[in-house]
């Protein structure tokens, strides 16, 4: 990311750049109107080549890359490929590039990240691979993990077998994320699975990926990051790496993680606003200094692209002002107060047409641009009663109505949402008692998890487990009250395991793997209840993980009869 320390250079060249972009847009439109005019399209490509050189000198990498992509698209159009699709994408790219330059002037900072989506839209139209979010991010990938990984909790020969169940845990969470179901709870579940895999693998080459990937999941949870399609793809790539562990075992342990995946993961961690635990470890190891957060990035992307409500309302207000300016000019012309310069009117109309395209009012934009070309040739004494003049007035009114509709569609919806919520408040009140029980059950499970952790940390001091059967019995009672029989059966199995295998007469010390598996079962039920508490249920798939965990411990869950 390169900061522009002297925006005077851009300001000095901005007029020439705008002129070049405007000329390129006119040449593109001329070619669209008559595809035989290939010289117009060639000149358009040369303009993009010239702009690329300018942006490289100005140290605007995103603008330079966009210009390069636009030049390549023109070449493909000249070769006869997907002309209609590429032409539309190219027109949109011209508008976004111009908006980005205005954004850079406003922010006095290059911030190339905000252009990744725009560049990818053009590459998608050209059927090219998309660039990663981290494309403009730099980091030394040769750095080692620090602190080093602890010794593996399982032998290399057992990793594949143990990773199979953990992959299922990860996939349950991933499926929920892909479906848009309570991402927070599902991401926590996935992070736990990666944490378990990390401990299974220990200090091996592939371990660096699990360490960073877990930090990514925890970052997404900590900052409630936006789950974009690119990020969903990254999460799916983690699953494919887990699959390699399952099927390749020891060989997969010695494989270095894919560098591009590692870089993308580190970039996402760098966007996290906090630094606890593994997030802090990754930031320290790769020297990720505090900078842009994901929330700030999404805000800047929306601001640059004009995608959020506040920006749309601002654009609508600007459009209304320009439309009023045109209408006032036409009123003066109708009154014969002053000679009218219709070339200036045409320039305003072209500007309005470009803005309408950016806010997806393409039909109105096309009408306005077509009318602008006609108006440009009008003389100062054009008859105001002529058909063309009246058509212009009608189209201005239609455009104004479309802008007004756009503005209303982006008015704050909070009041409507609040009214809808109030209409269902009696349901929430009826849920209060149920939610109180859910909270108490989660509190009991938190105590149980702390007891298990203390048992591990104290080298198997059973005093820390003494109260757990009673606590889990209370949790089971609460789950029965909630009519959550399947979750209750899991808690009953956990209680039986603790009573018989950990506290029973002559009980042997368990392995750490067994205790982690017990914690998996308790945590899975806790996640299930957390999703209920947030009114974003994730379904009972997460309970399958708890049941598999107890079966692995030799205490299969007896499901209640439906």
Residue 286's SS3 state is coil
Alpha helices in 82-182 (DSSP H): 83-107, 116-125, 156-178
- 231, 268 in Cβ contact below 8 A? yes
Residue at token pair 């378990």: 196
Asked if the model's pLDDT at residue 420 lies above 80, the reply is no
Residue 147 preceded by cis peptide, ω within 30: yes
Q: What is the DSSP code (8-state) at residue 181?
A: S
CA–CA separation, 96 vs 48, rounded Å?
A: 14
- 58, 13 in Cβ contact below 8 A? yes
Q: Which one has a higher pLDDT value, 491 or 374?
A: 491
How does pLDDT run across 71-87, given as a tens digit for each residue?
A: 999 999 988 876 777 88
CA–CA separation, 206 vs 242, rounded Å?
A: 10
Q: Which one has a higher pLDDT value, 444 or 340?
A: 444
CA–CA separation, 3 vs 192, rounded Å?
A: 38
For residue 535, the tally of other CB atoms under 10 A from its CB is 10
How does pLDDT run across 10-45, given as a tens digit for each residue?
A: 777 888 999 999 999 999 988 888 888 889 999 999
Alpha helices in 424-484 (DSSP H): 425-457, 468-481
Opening angle at CA 143, ends 139 and 145, nearest 5: 120
- Dihedral sign of CA atoms 375, 379, 384, 386 in order: negative
What local confidence, expressed as pLDDT, does residue 409 receive? 52
Joined tokens for residue 73: 């698209």
Joined tokens for residue 544: 């399958």
Characterize 28-58 residue by residue with b for buried, 16 or more Cβ atoms within 10 angstroms of its Cβ, and e for exposed.
Answer: beebbeeeeeeebbebbbebbebbbebbeeb
**CATH (one of 1.10.3470, 1.10.1200, 1.10.10, 1.20.120) for 430-552:** 1.20.120
Q: Nearest Cα to 237, choosing from 297, 146, 170, 293?
A: 170
Opening angle at CA 144, ends 292 and 146, nearest 5: 75
Q: Which of 105-119, 123-137, 295-309 has the lowest mean pLDDT?
A: 295-309
SS (H, E, C) 191-258: HHHHHHHHHHHCCCCCHHHHHHHHHHHHHHHHHCCCCCHHHHHHHHHHHHHHHHHHHHCHHHHCCCCC
SS (H, E, C) 41-83: HHHHHHHHHHHHHHHHHCCCHHHHHHHHHHHHHHHHHHCCCCH
What local confidence, expressed as pLDDT, does residue 243 receive? 96
Torsion angle defined by CA atoms of residues 495, 501, 507 and 513, in that order, rounded to the nearest 10 degrees? -120
The pTM of this model reads 0.71
pLDDT band, residue 212 (cuts 50/70/90)? very high
439-to-192, 247, 414, 426, 541 alpha-carbon distances in Å: 21, 40, 28, 20, 21
Asked if the model's pLDDT at residue 422 lies above 60, the reply is no
Asked if the model's pLDDT at residue 268 lies above 70, the reply is yes
Could you tell me which CATH number the domain at 8-131 has? 1.20.120.160
Q: Percentage of residues in the chain with pLDDT exceeding 70?
A: 91
H/E stretch holding 482 reads: none
Residue at token pair 């047409």: 353
- 438, 533 in Cβ contact below 8 A? yes
Opening angle at CA 348, ends 22 and 382, nearest 5: 120
CA–CA separation, 218 vs 187, rounded Å?
A: 8
H/E stretch holding 546 reads: helix 541-552
Which residues have a Cβ under 8 Å from the Cβ of 188 and sit 6 or more positions away?
173, 217, 221, 527
Asked if the model's pLDDT at residue 108 lies above 80, the reply is no
What local confidence, expressed as pLDDT, does residue 338 receive? 66
How does pLDDT run across 152-170, given as a tens digit for each residue?
A: 988 998 999 999 999 999 9
Task: Kindly report the CATH class assigned to 156-301.
Answer: mainly alpha
Q: Nearest Cα to 28, choosing from 68, 84, 66?
A: 84
What local confidence, expressed as pLDDT, does residue 535 receive? 67
Query: Rounded mean pLDDT of 306-330?
Result: 73
What local confidence, expressed as pLDDT, does residue 493 receive? 97
Joined tokens for residue 308: 């959020």
Opening angle at CA 229, ends 225 and 231, nearest 5: 50
């Amino acid at each position: 990311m390169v900061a522009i320390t002297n925006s005077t250079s851009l300001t000095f060249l901005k007029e020439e750049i705008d002129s070049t972009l405007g000329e390129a847009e006119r040449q593109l439109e001329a070619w669209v109107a008559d595809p035989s005019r290939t010289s117009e399209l060639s000149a358009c490509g040369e303009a993009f080549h010239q702009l690329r050189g300018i942006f490289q000198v100005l140290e605007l990498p995103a603008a330079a890359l966009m210009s390069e992509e636009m030049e390549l698209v023109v070449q493909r159009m000249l070769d006869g490929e997907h002309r209609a699709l590429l032409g539309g994408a190219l027109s949109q790219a011209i508008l976004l590039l111009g908006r980005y330059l205005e954004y850079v002037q406003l922010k006095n900072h290059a911030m190339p990240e905000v252009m990744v989506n725009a560049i990818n839209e053009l590459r998608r139209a050209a059927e090219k691979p998309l660039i990663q979010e981290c494309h403009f991010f730099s980091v030394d990938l040769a750095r080692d993990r620090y602190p080093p990984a602890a010794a593996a909790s399982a032998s290399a020969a057992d990793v594949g077998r143990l990773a199979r169940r953990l992959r299922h845990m990860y996939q349950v969470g991933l499926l929920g994320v892909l479906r848009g179901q309570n991402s927070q709870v599902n991401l926590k579940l996935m992070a736990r699975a990666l944490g378990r895999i990390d401990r299974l693998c220990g200090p091996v080459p592939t371990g660096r990926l699990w360490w960073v990937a877990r930090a990514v999941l925890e970052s997404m949870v900590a900052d409630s990051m936006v789950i974009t399609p690119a990020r969903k793809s990254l999460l799916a790539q983690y699953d494919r790496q887990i699959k390699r562990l399952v099927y390749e075992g020891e060989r997969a342990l010695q494989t270095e993680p894919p560098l591009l995946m590692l870089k993308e993961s580190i970039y996402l961690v760098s966007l996290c606003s906090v630094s606890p635990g593994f997030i802090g470890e990754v930031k320290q190891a790769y020297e990720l200094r505090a900078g842009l957060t994901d929330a700030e990035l999404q805000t800047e992307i929306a601001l640059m692209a004009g995608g959020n409500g506040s920006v749309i309302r601002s654009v609508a207000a600007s459009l209304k002002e320009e439309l009023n300016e045109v209408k006032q000019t036409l009123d003066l012309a109708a009154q014969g107060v002053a000679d009218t310069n219709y070339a200036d009117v045409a320039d305003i109309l072209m500007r309005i047409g470009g803005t309408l395209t950016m806010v997806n009012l393409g039909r109105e934009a096309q009408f306005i641009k077509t009318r602008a070309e006609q108006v440009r040739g009008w003389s100062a004494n054009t008859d105001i009663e002529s058909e063309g003049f009246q058509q212009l007035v009608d189209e201005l009114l239609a455009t104004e109505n479309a802008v007004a509709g756009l503005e209303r569609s982006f008015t704050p919806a909070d009041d409507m949402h609040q009214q809808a919520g109030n209409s269902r408040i009696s349901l929430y009140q009826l849920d209060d008692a149920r939610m109180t029980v859910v909270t108490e059950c989660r509190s009991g499970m938190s105590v149980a998890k702390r007891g298990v952790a203390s048992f591990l940390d104290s080298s198997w001091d059973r005093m820390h487990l003494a109260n757990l059967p009673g606590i889990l019995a209370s949790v089971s009672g609460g789950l029965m009250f909630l009519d959550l029989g399947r979750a209750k059966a899991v808690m009953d199995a956990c209680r039986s395991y603790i009573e018989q295998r950990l506290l029973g007469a002559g009980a042997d010390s368990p392995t750490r793997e067994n205790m982690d598996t017990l914690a998996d079962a308790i945590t899975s039920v806790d996640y299930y209840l957390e999703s209920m508490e947030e009114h974003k249920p994730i379904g009972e798939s997460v309970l399958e993980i708890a049941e598999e965990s107890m079966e692995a411990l030799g205490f299969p869950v007896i499901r209640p009869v439906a």
